[in-house]
Amino acid sequence: MKNFILFVSIVLCYFLLIYLDKTYISTSSKMIDFLAKDYPNEVVQNYMENQKKWWWVGYVATLLLIGIKILLVAFCLNFIKLLDISSLNNIKFSDLVFLSLIAESVFIIAGFYKFVYFHWIDPDYTLESLQTYYPISLLNLREYLSTEKWLTYPLQLVNLFELFYWGILAWGIWELSEQKISFSKSLGLTTITYGAGLLFWVGIVSFFILNAQY
């Protein structure tokens, strides 16, 4: 029950972020100005009409994606029991789901940080800058590192919030083990399980981005 309540709370926070983005950041005028550079007026108008018609798709997609992400993270972390049976065998999958939900709150904070940044700190933004920005990440230094499009996602993942996310996962495993293992070992187990899963996912996303360029 606690997992369900926490999941609903997280989804509602993401829904709020979507609403704030559509209402104050990615506004219709911003979208029209952005699309008008490359597409004729008729195409732009059709796109905006479809956006109004299918506004609910973003909310449904967010619900599904968050649910899938939480389960996949818990699935990856579940392999820690194979790596340290004696100390971690009593950990339930539902405990790992709860831990994944707690850690997800970090990215909600990142979302609100991004909203505050563009709404109050840098209101003279363009959609290009909005799309190539992630709070406190190497993506913001992309022009100094590399302009390759396939590196966009990996650079986005190297950020302070992702570091906090790893820390919460490691702390949670340490707590779930009843502190039978050290925090450094818990961090190592997180790296082997969740880290391996994340690396695999980044490889897939980068591969599709790279192939889309040709």
**Per-residue pLDDT tens listing for the chain (214 residues):** 899 999 999 999 999 999 999 999 998 888 888 888 888 888 889 989 998 899 999 999 999 999 999 999 999 999 998 887 677 888 999 999 999 999 999 999 999 999 999 999 998 888 888 887 889 898 887 766 766 777 888 989 999 999 999 999 999 999 999 998 999 999 999 999 999 999 999 999 888 888 876 5
The partner residues of 137 in beta bridges, in order of sequence, read: 159
DSSP 140: G
Domain count of the chain? 1
Sign for the CA dihedral angle at 166, 167, 171, 174 comes to: positive
Q: How many CB atoms lie within 10 A of CB 152?
A: 19
Range of the domain at 84: 2-212
Does this model's pTM top 0.85? My answer is: yes
d(CA 182, CA 185): 5
